[in-house]
């Protein structure tokens, strides 16, 4: 079901001649690593499996790879339009799925809502599926609007913190997120403020995502309003290389102080409820690491805002309308 580009790994090993390599993957792909490690050892190269999931290009484990003395790292399933970031090589993993039924469902949905100009977006592992869907729609005479391309990413590729490609799909009247992540689809909806659906290729289902987006938005407004009344606000910097925004954290902290709040800067590798809840002395937090954290992690005992929500908080404290804190934000 998931096609891993093993040939590319072999070629890189032959070219770079590493002595010791690391293997990293997201949660759902960690189980492919032991077999891959055995394969790499069969090429007379030492391999080390990173047992903790990698979240993507924001989380490449570069400092850890230095500690382990790795010559290079293969990060599986987080491909972008660049082959490597330093010593970390991004290895593609694509789902191989039939799209006929999904194509039929998408076509029916477009007719039902009267949309004629879809634009397609996806994450790294569904690019082949998305291409097949796009070809099918074009063959049926539907004008598919080209999505944009963020430097270093594939066309139409989105991250939970980067929906830049949607900015270019101005002519589209519906955004179709291909994949199984309601979070990404809802993010697309919040950023673009356009009709958005999730086309799930595993189950061939097209789902209106507006309710999910609305729920996320309302929860964010509630967090911001609670944080408005906080006296002491911690600003948390992420310690993963792609989540480290110290200067912006310090800037937000200073702005909060200028608005009569107490504020200090903290640093953490993983920002989880069980860790943050144990730190007392703050009434609310703004975390700079990843916008998914407040949206996905239930269980924080005080309001935790992401960076765009933190900007929203500053607006509200300044007496301005909150509006939509996510609108067209290419975060960070």
- Residue 23 contacts residue 34 (beta carbons within 8 Å): no
- Residue 97 contacts residue 91 (beta carbons within 8 Å): no
Nearer to ligand SF4, 99 or 162 (CB): 162
Beta bridge partners of 126: none
Binding map of ligand SF4 across residues 40-79, x = CB under 6 A, - = no contact: ---------------xx-x---------------------
Residues 186, 290, 305, 313: which binds ligand SF4 (CB under 6 A)?
290
Residues 292, 315, 317, 330: which binds ligand SF4 (CB under 6 A)?
292
Closest CA to 246 of 254, 257, 236, 261: 236
Nearer to ligand SF4, 184 or 261 (CB): 184
> What is the Cα–Cα distance from 118 to 15, expressed in whole angstroms?
42
The strands making up 20-24's β-sheet, listed across from edge to edge, are 46-49, 20-24, 72-76, 88-91, 84-85
> What is the Cα–Cα distance from 131 to 139, expressed in whole angstroms?
12
Nearer to ligand SF4, 54 or 196 (CB): 54
User: In the range 164-223, which residues lie near ligand SF4 by CB under 6 A?
Assistant: none
89 phi and psi angles, rounded to 5 deg = -100, 130
Q: What's the closest the beta carbon of residue 58 comes to ligand SF4, in angstroms?
A: 3
Q: How far is C-alpha 90 from the chain's CA centre?
A: 16
> What is the Cα–Cα distance from 274 to 6, expressed in whole angstroms?
38
Q: What's the closest the beta carbon of residue 236 comes to ligand SF4, in angstroms?
A: 13
Nearer to ligand SF4, 84 or 142 (CB): 84
> What is the Cα–Cα distance from 120 to 131, expressed in whole angstroms?
9
**Position 160 contacts ligand SF4 (CB under 6 A):** yes
Q: Which stretch binds ligand SF4 (CB under 6 A): 4-12, 154-162, 222-230, 258-266?
A: 154-162
Q: Which residue is nearest to ligand SF4 (CB)?
A: 160
Nearer to ligand SF4, 65 or 243 (CB): 243
Query: Tokens at residue 47, please?
Result: 């391999």
Question: What is residue 283's DSSP assignment?
Answer: S
Handedness of CA 105, 109, 115, 120 (dihedral sign): negative
Q: Which stretch binds ligand SF4 (CB under 6 A): 60-68, 138-146, 208-216, 288-296?
A: 288-296
Binding map of ligand SF4 across residues 243-262, x = CB under 6 A, - = no contact: x-------------------
Q: What's the closest the beta carbon of residue 67 comes to ligand SF4, in angstroms?
A: 21
Nearer to ligand SF4, 178 or 230 (CB): 178
Binding-residue total with ligand SF4 (CB under 6 A): 10
**Position 161 contacts ligand SF4 (CB under 6 A):** yes
Helix 246-258 and helix 307-317, axial crossing angle in degrees, nearest 10: 20
The single residue listed with the structure tokens 């093993």 is: 6
Query: Tokens at residue 201, please?
Result: 């290729």
- Residue 194 contacts residue 174 (beta carbons within 8 Å): yes
Binding map of ligand SF4 across residues 214-243, x = CB under 6 A, - = no contact: -----------------------------x
Query: Tokens at residue 324, please?
Result: 């939509």
Nearer to ligand SF4, 21 or 289 (CB): 289
Q: Could you list the residues that contact ligand SF4 (CB under 6 A)?
A: 55-56, 58, 159-161, 243, 290-292
């Amino acid at each position: 079901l998931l096609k891993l580009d093993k040939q590319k790994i072999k070629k890189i090993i032959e070219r770079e001649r590493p002595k010791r390599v690391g293997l990293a993957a997201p949660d759902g792909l960690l189980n492919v690593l032991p077999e891959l490690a055995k394969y790499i050892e069969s090429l007379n190269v030492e391999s080390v499996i990173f047992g903790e999931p990698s979240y993507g290009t924001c989380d490449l484990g570069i400092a850890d790879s230095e500690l382990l003395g790795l010559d290079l790292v293969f990060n599986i399933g987080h491909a972008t339009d660049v082959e490597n970031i330093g010593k970390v090589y991004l290895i593609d993993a694509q789902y191989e799925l039939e799209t006929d039924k999904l194509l039929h469902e998408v076509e029916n949905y477009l007719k039902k809502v009267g949309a004629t100009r879809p634009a397609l977006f996806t994450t790294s592992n569904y690019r082949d599926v998305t291409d097949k869907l796009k070809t099918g729609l074009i063959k049926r005479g539907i004008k598919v609007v080209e999505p944009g391309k963020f430097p270093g990413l594939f066309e139409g590729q989105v991250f939970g913190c980067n929906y830049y490609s949607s900015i270019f799909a101005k002519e589209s009247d519906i955004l179709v997120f291909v994949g199984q992540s309601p979070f990404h689809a809802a993010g697309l909806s919040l950023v673009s403020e356009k009709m958005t659906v999730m086309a799930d290729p595993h189950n061939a289902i097209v789902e209106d995502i507006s309710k999910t987006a609305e729920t996320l938005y309302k929860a964010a407004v509630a967090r911001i309003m609670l944080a408005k009344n906080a006296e002491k606000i911690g600003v948390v910097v992420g310690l993963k290389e792609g989540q480290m925004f110290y200067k912006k954290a310090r800037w937000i902290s200073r702005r909060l102080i200028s608005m009569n709040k107490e504020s200090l800067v903290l640093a953490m590798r993983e920002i989880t409820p069980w860790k943050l809840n144990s730190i007392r002395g703050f009434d609310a937090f703004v975390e700079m690491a990843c916008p998914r954290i407040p949206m996905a992690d239930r269980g924080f005992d005080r309001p935790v805002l992401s960076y765009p929500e933190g900007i929203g908080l500053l607006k509200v404290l300044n007496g301005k309308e909150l509006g939509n804190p996510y609108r067209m934000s290419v975060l960070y």
